[in-house]
Amino acid sequence: MRHTVATMTNPLLSKARTALVIGGGVAGPVAALALRKAGIDAQVFEAYRPGTGSRGGPLTLAANGLNALRLVGADVDVAAEGIPTPRMVIHSGSGKVLGTVESDPALPAVTTVSRGRIAEILQARAEAEGVPVVHGKRFEGAVDTGRSVIAQFDDHTTAEADVLIGCDGIRSAVRRLIDPAAPEPRYTGLIGLGGFIERRSTEGPAVPDTGGAFHMVFGRRAFFGHIGDGTRTGWFANLPYKRLDRDDLRATTYEQWIARLRTAFADDTGPMLRILDHVTPEAFIPALPLEDLPHVPVWSRGRIALVGDAAHATSPSSGQGASLAAESAVELARSLRDLPIAEAFTAYERGRRARVERVIAEAARTNQSKAAGPLAARFRDALMPFFMSRFATPERSAWQHGYTIDW
Ligand SMILES: Cc1cc2nc3c(=O)[nH]c(=O)nc-3n(C[C@H](O)[C@H](O)[C@H](O)COP(=O)(O)OP(=O)(O)OC[C@H]3O[C@@H](n4cnc5c(N)ncnc54)[C@H](O)[C@@H]3O)c2cc1C
């Protein structure tokens, strides 16, 4: 079956009327919804079949991400499934509270969802708005005809439109196509594991309701985060893992991971071991190397542009990757609404690059404190209360969380 978006001849000096969106994660469905709002017909092409990615650890959508989702009518769907998260509480491994970060009540309420569910929610919203989301289409290449762009998929089908938007994540094939010299993701020295524990009715809550607080623990050997609303508990752990050995990660069994986590948190104060007691293999996401892309030099070429992690992946420590992906998706659509293709891509990158690279750099600094040695950890725990009270305030983070898009 061939999927083709009908297109009239359209040079780069014209405005786009049709778009192919590669990737149905966060950026893809949001871009398609925003393009549609901008009067541009878009289709989403996703490599995986539905239902294959519904598991995941907790993903927090910040106010700026929810503001972007609101512009495409997807904020309510996401919030409906999320755990409201107005507060983050930071603890040391000895149980001392190092600081509390309250969300700005004037901004949309921060929410935490399962990382696997977010794509499903956004795809469903796109489909409800009439955007076709085609699954099982792995993008392999594209040809710029001078008048249009033709995408090629692994099932030998093609699709054609005025522009192609690469929303295919941190290992983007679209990025490699527009710049074969593009950097590869940078490993942070940490691996991430996690999941969502659902309450089974007869057993009561796995861990107490955290009352909207996402608790983060700088343990002696590893970092732990958890939030629970009494029926679900989202948790994650970041373990320092200096030399990335993907074979070791793949070969490590579920039981071995749980044992490693138990050892890592054995000497810390907090609910880590109690939460691990409730983890099951079905609700467990095995270790992923945590990566980022501090600087992707080429964001667009000809009729093709990148959005989301494909262009600007931040490590999870920022809690901003999905929010920035949603922002970029809407901003690109806005530029394509107002400007001819070439100018739109330039304006989009000019408006986004400094902001996203600043977030990525800040997250990289946080990663260092998660992997601190014993001496650095003592300094961190001693100094953090002072820095948190001075700098972790709504005013100081307004540049990040208060960002709004003037649609
Ligand atoms: C452990 C972890 C925790 C995180 N926690 C948070 C958090 O709390 N808050 C936050 O904001 N962010 C968080 N992030 C980051 C966030 O998940 C990403 O920034 C966000 O998902 C980026 O969206 P995206 O659409 O650009 O990419 P993705 O969500 O990765 O979506 C890319 C999509 O493209 C598809 N695809 C890939 N290749 C192809 C191809 N060739 N053809 C077709 N389709 C393709 C993929 O299947 C996928 O569906 C976390 C990330 C990790 C790894």
Task: Give residue-wise pLDDT tens across range 119-158.
Answer: 999 999 999 999 999 999 999 999 999 999 999 999 999 9
Written as one string, the DSSP assignment of 260-295 is: HHHHHHTT--SSHHHHHHH--GGG-EEEEEEEE-S-
Sequence-distant (6+) residues with CB within 8 A of 308 are 23, 25, 26, 27, 28, 167, 169, 321, 324, 325, 328, 329
Closest C-alpha to 154, from 46, 25, 4, 43? 46
pLDDT value of residue 2: 45
Q: Is 319 left (phi over 0), alpha (psi -120 to 50) or beta?
A: left
Task: Identify the three-state secondary structure at position 244.
Answer: coil
Question: Which of 114, 187, 309 to probe ligand 1 with, by most ligand atoms within 8 A of CB?
Answer: 309
Nearest CA to ligand 1 atom 39: 168
pLDDT value of residue 7: 45
pLDDT (tens, 9 = 90+) of the chain, 407 residues, equals 444 444 456 678 899 999 999 999 999 999 999 999 999 999 999 999 887 655 789 999 999 999 999 999 999 999 999 999 999 999 999 999 999 999 999 999 999 999 889 999 999 999 999 999 999 999 999 999 999 999 999 999 999 999 999 999 999 999 999 999 999 999 999 999 999 988 765 565 567 799 999 999 999 999 999 999 988 999 999 999 988 899 999 999 999 999 999 999 999 999 999 999 999 898 898 899 999 999 999 999 999 999 999 999 999 989 999 999 999 999 999 999 999 999 999 999 999 999 999 999 999 888 877 766 776 777 777 777 777 776 777 788 889 999 999 99
Closest approach atom of ligand 1 to CA 28? 25
Closest approach atom of ligand 1 to CA 307? 26
Q: State the pairing for strand pair 111-114/83-84.
A: antiparallel
Nearest CA to ligand 1 atom 48: 25
Contact 28 CB / ligand 1 (< 6 Å): yes
pLDDT value of residue 56: 84
What separation in Å is there between the alpha carbon of 241 and the centre of ligand 1? 22
Closest approach atom of ligand 1 to CA 172? 38
Per-domain residue ranges of the chain: 15-83+112-185+293-372+393-402, 186-292
Sheet holding 111-114, edge to edge: 58-61, 111-114, 83-84
pLDDT value of residue 52: 64
pLDDT value of residue 118: 95
Q: Tell me yes or no: is domain 186-292 CATH 3.30.9.30.
A: yes
Nearest CA to ligand 1 atom 29: 25
pLDDT value of residue 206: 61
User: Residue 50 in contact with residue 135, Cβ under 8 Å?
Assistant: yes
Contact 25 CB / ligand 1 (< 6 Å): yes
Contact 296 CB / ligand 1 (< 6 Å): no
**Please, which residues bridge with residue 233 across strands?**
197, 228
Nearest CA to ligand 1 atom 31: 25
Q: State the pairing for strand pair 58-61/41-46.
A: unpaired
pLDDT value of residue 53: 55
User: Residue 187 in contact with residue 313, Cβ under 8 Å?
Assistant: no
In the CATH scheme, what is the code of domain 15-83+112-185+293-372+393-402?
A: 3.50.50.60
What angle do the packed helices 27-37 and 115-128 form, to 10 degrees?
A: 20
Contact 176 CB / ligand 1 (< 6 Å): no
Task: Identify the three-state secondary structure at position 242.
Answer: coil
